[in-house]
A and B are shown apart, each in its own frame.
Chain A
Amino acid sequence: MKVARLVFAVFLMFSLSLGLALQREGYQDYGQGYGRRYYYEPGPNVPSEFYWSRLRYTSDYASGSSYGFHRYGGGGGWSRDYPKADNDCLIALRRLTHINSPSPLNVVDLDSDHIFDYPWIYAVQVNTWTFTEEEAKRLHDYLLKGGFLMVDDFHGTDDWEHFMAGMRMVLPDATVEDLKDADEIYHVLYDINEKFQIPSEVYVNTGRTYEKDGYVPKWRAIRNDHGRIMVAICANMHLGDAWEWADSPQYPEKFSGLAFRIVLNYIMYAMTH
């Protein structure tokens, strides 16, 4: 019995140490089995016109897919693929557009009014998000006042339902629509006439573009009363991985290329509509 307790204690200490190591700022495990690591240096906060802002939210244990990562959990929930995916995307933004964005990555919370200083926010694994009434109202106001939310990296029927449960708290009467190729959001910067499912890095080992039962990519959106898209939804896809793995020889370029074009179009749309 004592041995069992000792073994359990050692295992627990090891687990905690590993967890803490993984949570050190800027470090991220970069691909199982490839033995590479990525270090992100945030740098000074340079005043910018555009801040790449990731939404930090409280995850729900019961959603089943986030393995209980809470607000400050690493590797899942709100911070999935952070910071490399975001940083790669920001580099592409700086290189390919005229948007002023020298500032490093930014994380915003729904428990602060400073979210209103950043009219663009990106959220992942939104099947795990939960809101208090106050948080839901803040996001509701944010969107109706002119903010733009892009959501990514959730798959299948259950994830969709969990995402929508949160979305209904924010926008109870919102109508979700499938975006057509002709929609302005796909032509504001690049003319994107052909879209396909953008898989996560799982594709490298399995060749599967889908996860769970999310076989078909859903390019969806919620508009305001004037027809402006305020929530862009990338369901059954993982654009974040496509940015993050863009420099990997194993991850097909066509997915990363489309993912970059999509997000740059979304940002450009958010800044012009």
Chain B
Amino acid sequence: MFEFFFKYPRSVYTRGHLALLGAWPTWMLVALIVAAAAGLAWLIRARLAQAAPVMQSWRAWVVWGLETLLAAILLVLLWQPAITVAELKPQQNIIAVLVDDSRSMGISEGGITREAQAVKTLEGGVLDGLNRSFQTRLYRVDDVPARIDNLAALRPAAPSTRLGDSLKQLSEETSDLPIGAVVLLSDGDDNSGGIAEDTLNALRARHIPVHTVGFGRERSEHDVELDDAVVAPRALADSRLAARITLHQRGYAGQKIELTVRDVSAGQPKILASRTVTLGAGGNLQVETLMFNIGGAGAKTLEIAAGPLAGEENTANNRLTRVVNVGSEPRRILYVEGEPRWEYKFIRQAEEDDRMVQIASIVRTTENKFYRQGLADLKELADGFPTRPEDLFVYQGLIIGSVNAGYFTPGQQELIRQFVDRRGGGLLMLGGQFALGDGDWNASPLTDLLPTVLPTQAGTFHREADPAHGTTHATAELAPAGVDSIITRLVDDPAANAAKWKKLPYLMDYEDPGIAKPGAAVLANMITPEGRTLPLLITENFGHGRTAIMATGGSWRWQMSSPLGDTAHDLFWQQLLRWLVSDTPGHVAASVPAQMLLDSGAITFTATVGDQQYNPARDAKVEAHILGPSGVSALVEMTPVPDSPGQFQAAWNAPKEGAYLTEITAQRADPATGVFKELGRDVLTFQRMDGVAENFHVEQNRALLEHLSAATGGQYWKPAELGKLAGAIPFSEAGVTVRETKDLWDLPLVFLVLVLLRFAEWWLRRKWGIV
């Protein structure tokens, strides 16, 4: 239809440049158009008095407009409009025909695979059409492009697709060839996360248009697919973790599906959590959270699965795998309490059952006495709160209870800041009569560390006035941000959890913690006796660490006033304190960009190394000891990252599919003896999986194909339209070209417009009754 009106293919217009071939200058054309418009206006105005009364209005100017337009078009035609466009020289250019041969092209739709459809299309005249004007080269593409002699060499079995990488490699390999265009036949299911900008730039630099031909259904009819599952890569033994699962479905709206988390590390898979959820609207992303206990220490492989449901077209995309490194070394928290109070006792009691978190504490029992508990040895905390970094930084978390800010010296307050900011520790401030605003923390140098802007006035702490009757009580409730928080999840089911929070016994006291800062998360609120809603539990990341406020000293009532056996109080405190310390790094903190390597073994280890005071250890010797499947073993020396003191990196390639355990050690030479002493070590896990990515996103990714063609000057084609491909391809600036000039004066559209203008004027005059 386009070519019927416009005479040439669309690509001529998108790639060409308009020109006027007439010998007279362009300004003369403009002047004549203006003159024609003015002359017609003068003529109409002069005859307006003699015209019929109906024309003595805006109608006259409509007629003027139509006639002026007609005159303008005729004048333009006299100047010989044309379009100049680069055109491939016949038989001197190569068209690269790329056929995706990844496993997703083997999916059968309507009794024929996507790849078979592509072959059938090419053999149905497309290749012949191209061959008449160009040379063609056939390639199959998956991770890399590989030239093939004929279409029979295609096997849709490659475990992954990297269209961007393949196109970039093709561009590099054919740099000395006159590639006129690329024709890519694919379902667009790229496993590398999209087409990189440098790939597009490489194609643009050579002006190579990529024409994409999409295969496969753009929408599945019956399928459930897991899009992602986020699980913390590290955890303490026996931790409660959250798996945040994102899924979407087609054709099952309103139906129920079971989500499960299994530990598949051992021979016998073990279900850690399962929950039945109702599927939402088709195509919409749905996020569900499952809570589970990760169990004992070690490298854990988790399988997160949905369904399957009856009639699903693809069940291989119902499962995802994640790895978690479960540590066994207990974390230590320093708890400073300014007065004996029940909250202190019940927090300690809650931690008795958590073998992974230990609390060393100092409580001020009298004006001049302190009592220490949970000591590693008798010297610990013998001089009170630490004054040296190496004494404070042995802890992973710090709790400050009902203690006035003035109790800490300026040096100790700075140490607390460094504990969070530099060391990456967790700080929890509790409410109390000497805490937060009432403890003058609002005027301390640590205000920017806290997740709220503390009230400036005193008197923000309030006790239950009548505990015997409970008539003035403050109650807790879950805040929206706490719905999916691991800290506040007391019951697995989200709705039941919110109800559980509402049923918690009232608090024995509370303190107004002020307003949450931007970036802080209010996980729970409290309703005061006056009906005000105040933040109860607020968390925030600060520097390398994290801070929180629990604005009460009376949560112990959740333990004493709940039925015996109710775990809410203990679970809450265990989860809060684990959150406080779980991510606190050691002297060596190792990481990898992604723990799941799909179809590629390339991985980069990064380690941040700190000395005893957690300052960057620039001169450390850092090594990665890798153990993998089937006896894979390697020792890789890590090198300092320029401009990032204390950071070390190493690139490595995991050769085999399977789980890998990497221990990264850091040593430093003793300046006095020259002997290397260990600074610390860290363990991380990752897994290489091949052939899994092709199971996901199996619907045709038309958006990616359209983006690729649009960004390179090509065009997206449906298989049925490919008959016109051979006509569109010649207009390209790549390869060996010649610039052609094509007349536009004889476009069918021009004549149609001229006729329509005259017809429109006639029709209007007739309608107004003057002809």
| Chain A complexes with chain B | yes
User: Which A residues are closer than 8 A to B by beta carbons?
Assistant: 45, 47-51, 96-100, 106, 113-114, 116-119, 140-142, 144-147, 188-189, 226, 228, 268, 270-273
Q: Is B294 engaged at the interface, CB distance under 8 Å to the other chain?
A: no
Q: Is B410 engaged at the interface, CB distance under 8 Å to the other chain?
A: no
Q: Hey, which chain B residues are within 8 Å of A142, CB to CB?
A: 560
Closest to B370 in A: A98
Contacting residue for A98 out of B364, B557, B561, CB 8 A: B364
Q: Hey, which chain A residues are within 8 Å of B373, CB to CB?
A: 272
Query: Are B564 and A145 in contact (CB-based, < 8 A)?
Result: yes
Closest to A107 in B: B468
Query: Are A188 and B345 in contact (CB-based, < 8 A)?
Result: no
The 4 closest A-B pairs by CB, nearest first: A47-B463, A117-B467, A141-B564, A271-B340
Query: Are A188 and B371 in contact (CB-based, < 8 A)?
Result: yes
Q: Hey, which chain B residues are within 8 Å of A147, CB to CB?
A: 560
Q: A114-B470, A119-B556, A141-B564 are in contact. List 17 more A-B contacts (CB 8 A).
A: A47-B462, A48-B463, A49-B433, A49-B463, A51-B467, A98-B339, A98-B364, A99-B339, A114-B467, A116-B560, A116-B561, A118-B467, A119-B345, A142-B560, A189-B371, A271-B345, A272-B373
A194 to B341, CA, bound (A): 28
From known contacts A117-B508, A226-B352, infer whether A271 and B463 are also in contact, taking CB-CB under 8 Å: no
Q: Hey, which chain A residues are within 8 Å of B470, CB to CB?
A: 114, 117
Interface residues on chain B, size class: 35 or more
A118 to B556, CA, bound (A): 11
Q: Hey, which chain A residues are within 8 Å of B717, CB to CB?
A: none
Shortest distance from the beta carbon of B736 to any chain A beta carbon, whole Å: 86
A228 to B348, CA, bound (A): 12
CB contact list, B515-541 vs A, under 8 A: none
The interface residues of chain B, by DSSP majority, are classed as loop
A189 to B466, CA, bound (A): 30
Contacting residue for B348 out of A48, A49, A116, A272, CB 8 A: A272
Q: Hey, which chain A residues are within 8 Å of B561, CB to CB?
A: 113, 116-117
CB contact list, B305-360 vs A, under 8 A: 338-342, 344-346, 348-349, 352
Contacting residue for B345 out of A106, A114, A117, A273, CB 8 A: A273
Q: 16 A-B residue contacts at CB 8 Å?
A: A45-B465, A47-B463, A47-B467, A49-B339, A49-B342, A96-B366, A99-B339, A100-B433, A116-B561, A117-B467, A117-B557, A117-B560, A119-B342, A145-B559, A188-B371, A226-B352
Q: Is B365 engaged at the interface, CB distance under 8 Å to the other chain?
A: yes
A91 to B345, CA, bound (A): 23
Shortest distance from the beta carbon of A122 to any chain B beta carbon, whole Å: 16
CB-defined interface of B451-476 with A at 8 Å, one 1/0 digit per residue? 00000000000111111111000000
Q: Hey, which chain A residues are within 8 Å of B352, CB to CB?
A: 226
Query: Are A98 and B340 in contact (CB-based, < 8 A)?
Result: yes
A50 to B342, CA, bound (A): 8
Q: Hey, which chain A residues are within 8 Å of B467, CB to CB?
A: 47, 51, 114, 117-118
Q: Hey, which chain B residues are within 8 Å of A118, CB to CB?
A: 467
Closest to B352 in A: A226
A113 to B563, CA, bound (A): 10
Shortest distance from the beta carbon of B404 to any chain A beta carbon, whole Å: 12
Q: Hey, which chain A residues are within 8 Å of B556, CB to CB?
A: 119, 146
Q: Hey, which chain B residues are within 8 Å of A273, CB to CB?
A: 345, 348
A49 to B345, CA, bound (A): 12
Query: Are B564 and A144 in contact (CB-based, < 8 A)?
Result: yes
CB-defined interface of B500-520 with A at 8 Å, one 1/0 digit per residue? 000000001100000000000
Q: Is B369 engaged at the interface, CB distance under 8 Å to the other chain?
A: yes
Q: Hey, which chain A residues are within 8 Å of B342, CB to CB?
A: 49, 119, 271
Q: Is B367 engaged at the interface, CB distance under 8 Å to the other chain?
A: yes
Shortest distance from the beta carbon of B341 to any chain A beta carbon, whole Å: 5
Q: Is B363 engaged at the interface, CB distance under 8 Å to the other chain?
A: yes
Closest to B462 in A: A47
Closest to A95 in B: B366
